Amino acid sequence: MAKFWELLEESVLVSGFIACACIVAMLYLAVRGLPIPDILSNVVMVVVGFFFGGKVQLAQQNLARQMGRPLTQIGEENHGRYQS
């Protein structure tokens, strides 16, 4: 039960539920052969992007915590690595 409250506090459950609800609504319309409104597909893309962006940010914070360094320091080390 403690893990549930931890995930709820990090809003992983809430954003995951909203992402799933939006995807289910879009899939329902697609399966029924109904047109998918542009606004719904835009909302689905934004919500899914927000959900996975939050997961990446959480993973970066956990990595920084494990390494014992601030997240900004890790970002500065990797900044020039992928630029051409």
CA 4 remoteness from chain centre: 18
Quote the strand ranges of the chain, DSSP E.
none
Give the DSSP letter of residue 34.
P
- How do the pLDDT tens digits run along the chain, 84 residues long? 777 777 666 666 777 788 889 899 999 999 999 999 999 999 999 988 887 777 777 777 777 778 776 666 555 555 555 555
The confidence score (pLDDT) of residue 26 equals 92
Task: Give the Cα separation of 34 and 15 in Å (integer).
Answer: 26
Q: Are 23 and 44 in contact (CB under 8 A)?
A: yes
The residue type of 12 is V
The residue type of 3 is K
